[in-house]
Amino acid sequence: MFMPRRLVCAGCGATDAWEAEVQGAALVGAAPGGTEDPFFRQPLWLQTRCVGRVLWAYNEKHIDELAAYVGAVLRHHVASPTMAMFPRLPVWMKRADDRAEVLAGLGKLRDLAEHSAPDDRSDAAHRRDDRPRLRGSAYFRGGAY
């Protein structure tokens, strides 16, 4: 979340660069989560309306992880790099009553992942600025706090 990033659009050739902000001895990184890319603040491509809310994912691997968790009748607590996201999921995604609709929404996201034309974009995938990110995580360089 602190490494420099570069955005290149294969469709239009637009480019952008992101670097973590420096505040004193700290690097302020991106804050993941929400309906925008954490680095460039552009709307995520993979969004759809679900259970009266917006369901989103970063990529197909994210969709697979979410589908495995939501679809599990018995959820095991296994240590893995992605386990940290599950306790943070909203309650509506974890409720058994909403399981079928959330899995259907994840199926829509999987279908969207195969398309790249602007006309293929979900009506949910637009700039809303619905999750303000006033600051990201901080990484203190050189051990100074």
Tens of pLDDT along the chain (145 residues) come to 888 888 887 777 888 898 888 888 888 888 877 888 888 888 888 999 999 999 999 899 999 999 999 998 877 665 555 567 888 889 999 999 999 999 999 999 999 988 766 566 666 555 555 544 444 544 445 544 4
Q: Distance between the two ends of the chain, CA-based, in angstroms?
A: 19
Q: Give me the sign of the Cα torsion angle 108, 62, 45, 13.
A: negative
The DSSP bridge pattern shows strands 47-50 and 26-28 to be: unpaired
List all residues 6 or more positions away from 93 whose beta carbon is below 8 Å from its beta carbon: 51, 55, 66, 70, 102
Say if pTM beats, i.e. exceeds, 0.75: no
Q: Which residue has the tokens 């954490």?
A: 38
